[in-house]
Amino acid sequence: MTVQPKTLFEKIWDAHVVREAPGEPALLYVDLHLVHEVTSPQAFEALRLAGRKVRRPDLTVATMDHNVPTWDRQLPVTDEISRQQMDTLAQNCREFGVTLYDLHSKKQGIVHVIGPELGLTQPGMTIVCGDSHTSTHGALGALAFGIGTSEVEHVLATQCLPQSRPKTMEVRVDGRLAPGVTAKDIILGVIGRIGTAGGTGYVVEYTGEAIRSLSMEGRMTVCNMSIEGGARAGMIAPDDKTFAYVEGRPHAPQGKAFERAVEHWRSLATDEGASYDRVERFDAAQMAPFVTWGTNPGMVVPVTGRVPDPSAYAEEADRRAAERALEYMGLTPGTAIQDINIDRVFLGSCTNARIEDLRAAAGVVRAAMTKGKKVHPKVYAMVVPGSMPVKFQAEAEGLHEVFRAAGFDWREAGCSMCLGMNPDVLQPGERCASTSNRNFEGRQGKGGRTHLVSPQMAVAAAITGHFVDIRDWDV
């Protein structure tokens, strides 16, 4: 008997189908449901009104991240409505028996940082959260995707979701990255080519040498921005790196159970001969440090490039979108990216605020400090760790002292200026080099202008006051 070869996605999907019937979406079981304060209050309220309970509070974990101020945790939350939203989450978690990592927890952090960190995220799982960057967890070989609040309610009540089977896309990145070119640049390069809707309807599996060579943190950065390419989920087959990352974490299986789990996880990788609905190939050698110039993540060029001319677009709709973007961004066609001056730097977010990101950025800062360089006097730069454990780890390594000595503001954990729901926002017209994931109009503050870059590129820009090519930057 021959067994039909399957992709990673197909194996996980098939293992989670509770029920299938012709003409209906599959009923998919959810192994882990992550919850935060912004997209859950209406879901809990609806449960209450319908007299329903949370079916599996033991598979549900909540944290506060979007609204939380990143100043001293002993200080009060001054935004009354934000505070109310956080209090509501706390009340809901108490009432429905859900574990919560609140503002004062030592494990608090951005939901997509703490899931893997606590060992909650494991290979082979299905994971959902009312947040589009849930795709992050796919880096560990899980099927993880963002859902709306009605679906949050659905999962709370049933631990299942009716889902139509998505198509599969392989994004293969062969070869090796040059020094200074990072996971962030891979994903920006991919989105730059496939476009912000290129992955719509697909689950992406990232493969190839350049992906395999990435650390777990780097893989999370890549999967995190799958949604910016339109794909609800991105995933990477689990390997020894994955298992070593998971081992010993608080919620990971221990001892014999871990060994059994690894044996199962090894079987998840895409089989030889399995096929995808679509394949996109990239060469890592063609990847450069990227900088976005416009108002969606697909509007991106290498740091050595220039702001494009809208008239070069073949389609009228794209031309108008580019014109609008340039007007909003206050940029002129033909401007060299390295001539763009910045006012602010944000090193943070579920894309790039893990320990490895902070280490890489601190390395650049240290090198600059040896030459007497600090944050440019016209720039305000903040570092917001992705979680409190990331913050503690960074402090144990002395990274905070490096950042502070160079003039960076060292903050508490949260989503912060990635979306500016808390007090960390850009002022109108301010230009920011940001390690986050979205450069939409007003995303970081009304009228704010966001350029997406890697952590190394962001801190180099903080020091020089404009973008520089990290590959040949002579501090």
Partner 1 sequence: MDAFVRHTGLVGPLDRVNVDTDQIIPKQFLKRIERTGFGQFLFFDWRFRDDGTPNPDFELNRPGYEGASILVAGRNFGCGSSREHAPWALQDFGFRAIIAPSFADIFYNNCFKNGMLPVVLPEATVEEILARAKERPGYRLTVDLQEQTVEDEEGLIAHFEVDPFRRECLLNGLDDIGLTLRHEPDITEYERRRAALLPVAAG
* Complex with partner 1: residue 147 or 384, whichever CB lies closer: 147
Nearest distance in Å: CB 99, partner 1: 5
Nearest distance in Å: CB 437, partner 1: 9
H or E stretch at 369: helix 355-370
**Of residues 164, 311, 370, 472, which one binds partner 1 by CB under 8 A?**
164
Positions in 167-186 near partner 1 (CB under 8 A): none
Nearest distance in Å: CB 283, partner 1: 27
**Of residues 107, 165, 200, 215, which one binds partner 1 by CB under 8 A?**
200
**Of residues 230, 238, 348, 386, which one binds partner 1 by CB under 8 A?**
230
Report which of 344, 403, 461 is spatially closest to residue 475, judged by C-alpha positions: 461
Nearest distance in Å: CB 338, partner 1: 27
Q: Give every CB contact of residue 420 below 8 A, 6+ residues apart in sequence.
A: 426, 443, 444, 445, 448
Report which of 264, 324, 249 is spatially closest to residue 125, judged by C-alpha positions: 264
Q: What is the CA angle 31-36-37, rounded to 5?
A: 150
- Packing angle, helices 388-396 and 355-370, rounded to 10: 40
H or E stretch at 222: helix 216-224
* Complex with partner 1: residue 313 or 380, whichever CB lies closer: 313
Positions in 233-292 near partner 1 (CB under 8 A): 251, 253, 264
The Cα 215–Cα 342 span in angstroms is 30
Positions in 79-98 near partner 1 (CB under 8 A): 79, 81-82, 84-85, 88, 98
- Specify which residues 36 forms β-bridges with: 63
Positions in 442-461 near partner 1 (CB under 8 A): 442-443, 446
Lookup: tokens for 312: 């070069």
Lookup: tokens for 61: 């974990």
* Complex with partner 1: residue 59 or 183, whichever CB lies closer: 59
* Complex with partner 1: residue 215 or 258, whichever CB lies closer: 258
Alpha helices in 225-278 (DSSP H): 240-246, 255-266
Indicate the DSSP class of residue 268: T
* Complex with partner 1: residue 132 or 456, whichever CB lies closer: 132
**Of residues 1, 75, 314, 317, which one binds partner 1 by CB under 8 A?**
317
Nearest distance in Å: CB 87, partner 1: 9
Residue 333 CB coordination number (10 Å): 15
CA distances from 118 to 69, 115, 281, 312 (A): 22, 6, 33, 48
The Cα 198–Cα 227 span in angstroms is 10
- Specify which residues 128 forms β-bridges with: 33, 145
* Complex with partner 1: residue 77 or 355, whichever CB lies closer: 77
* Complex with partner 1: residue 257 or 279, whichever CB lies closer: 257
* Complex with partner 1: residue 60 or 464, whichever CB lies closer: 60
**Of residues 105, 159, 213, 254, which one binds partner 1 by CB under 8 A?**
159
Q: How many residues bind partner 1 (CB under 8 A)?
A: 81
Nearest distance in Å: CB 46, partner 1: 8
Nearest distance in Å: CB 210, partner 1: 26
Lookup: tokens for 258: 């871990």
Lookup: tokens for 420: 């500016």
Lookup: tokens for 424: 């960390």
Positions in 396-425 near partner 1 (CB under 8 A): 419-421
Lookup: tokens for 311: 């008239």
- Rule CB under 8 A: say whether 440 interacts with partner 1: yes
Positions in 116-145 near partner 1 (CB under 8 A): 120, 122, 124-125, 130-132
**Of residues 10, 65, 151, 205, which one binds partner 1 by CB under 8 A?**
151
Each residue 366-385 as x (binds partner 1 by CB under 8 A) or -, in order, gives --------------------
Q: Which residue has the tokens 């995190």?
A: 224
* Complex with partner 1: residue 80 or 272, whichever CB lies closer: 80
Q: Give every CB contact of residue 475 below 8 A, 6+ residues apart in sequence.
A: 367, 368, 370, 371, 373, 463
The Cα 290–Cα 205 span in angstroms is 22
Positions in 13-42 near partner 1 (CB under 8 A): 15, 18-19, 23-25, 27, 29, 31-32, 38-39, 41-42
